[in-house]
Structure 1
């Protein structure tokens, strides 16, 4: 689902300019140097946590309206920072699902899933994009919310709703509001990990700099930190040719959020 965050009042456009410049400094590379024709997305991952609380298999994910991209999934209990920041809205159509048990599905549907799915890197696991899954379910008149399909599926990588641009993917990944502007920022006055200090120092907006500093803490002092690319846990996306832009993790709750340049089945 796309949402044009650049449209609207002049203050919204100015805020997007601030974010574009600030995120470029944070990454050490202007956003204009990234491929402008590519699509970008932010994905959320939480180990077993989403399954344990039932969110990964919540019936809302397989609502036909959600799988078609016409309805977002929202849950105030799913947060990255838990510091009063806006809760993310998830786009089921662009999220990545796992079909874990095919025994209750028809042979015809299983065959078509094989064509629509892509490998995860884990043996026996089949991944499929929400919009592709929704089209198959509609064609075969299957409702995965039915009790007969309990345990057959779950959402592995919820996609945080954004407009497909890099700046908006970074915005939602960092839990920065669009309409709220600076009012959505976390007021953090602690010290970031020294590794990221040079990047943060170049972020001109002091509020955005403080907010991003909150997500760059030393792993020995706090659980929330920006991580290097080889530390991110999003298996399956790299195999499709998606390239990581930036990632954060919150180790206490196994939460990770990562922004990717999309390709393959996700592009």
Structure 2
């Protein structure tokens, strides 16, 4: 097992194109951006067992031509700026075990494919460990070692 800090990111057609969640104004709530609140919206879920816990400070936003972490948006005036959430950082304790607990629940549904030796890193930082894609093209996930 590789030691270190791990981050789990989620995105996909459902989130980024079909639901409008990627542009929901609730993402800009200071409590979400600071990490004080980990539930962005009760209806944002990957599994049926409750809302997806989000790490707002580590979630990646596209603001104009730049990609920034949520923590960098605290107090920033985005009035008139084009923004959206590119990759949700899923709230975990930073361990490999906790990230795998979440993805393990997905794998149990049998509707997700894991690539344990991905050739590319969709996030462009960290060391890519595993990626997942559901059978319906609705969700993608990536586990990286920071």
State the TM-score bracket (shorter-chain normalisation): 0.7 to 0.9
Query: Which one of 88, 94, 109 corresponds to residue 214 of structure 1?
Result: 109
TM-score, scaled to structure 2: 0.82
CA 1:259–1:68: 2 relative to 1, 3 Å = same
CA 1:163–1:49: 2 relative to 1, 3 Å = closer
Aligned partners of 1:48, 1:74: CA distance in 2, in Å? 16
* Offset at residue 56 of structure 1 (A): 0.4
CA 1:231–1:55: 2 relative to 1, 3 Å = farther
Q: Are 1:260 and 2:135 an aligned pair?
A: no
Contact 1:173-1:258 within 8 A present in 2 as well:
no
Query: Which one of 108, 114, 117 corresponds to residue 226 of structure 1?
Result: 114
Q: Are 1:249 and 2:144 an aligned pair?
A: no
TM-score, scaled to structure 1: 0.48
Aligned partners of 2:108, 2:142: CA distance in 1, in Å? 17
Contact 1:91-1:158 within 8 A present in 2 as well:
yes
Say which structure is richer in helix: 1
Aligned partners of 1:254, 1:131: CA distance in 2, in Å? 27
CA 1:231–1:250: 2 relative to 1, 3 Å = farther
CA 1:57–1:47: 2 relative to 1, 3 Å = same
Contact 1:45-1:158 within 8 A present in 2 as well:
yes
Say which structure is richer in strand: 2
SS of the aligned residue for 1:252 comes to: coil
Aligned partners of 1:231, 1:254: CA distance in 2, in Å? 21
* Offset at residue 43 of structure 1 (A): 0.6
Aligned twin of 2:62 = 98
Q: Are 1:155 and 2:81 an aligned pair?
A: no
Unaligned runs of 5+ in 1: 1-32, 101-124, 176-210, 216-222, 263-267
Structure having the higher Rg: 1
User: Once superposed, what is the RMSD of the aligned Cα atoms?
Assistant: 2.5
Aligned twin of 2:67 = 127
Aligned residues: 146
SS of the aligned residue for 1:89 comes to: coil
Aligned twin of 1:25 = none
CA 1:245–1:230: 2 relative to 1, 3 Å = closer
Query: Which one of 99, 105, 113 corresponds to residue 169 of structure 1?
Result: 99
Higher relative contact order (CA 8 A, sep 6+): 2
Q: Deviations over 1:1-29 (max 9, x none)?
A: xxxxxxxxxxxxxxxxxxxxxxxxxxxxx
Aligned partners of 2:50, 2:119: CA distance in 1, in Å? 26
Contact 1:88-1:172 within 8 A present in 2 as well:
no
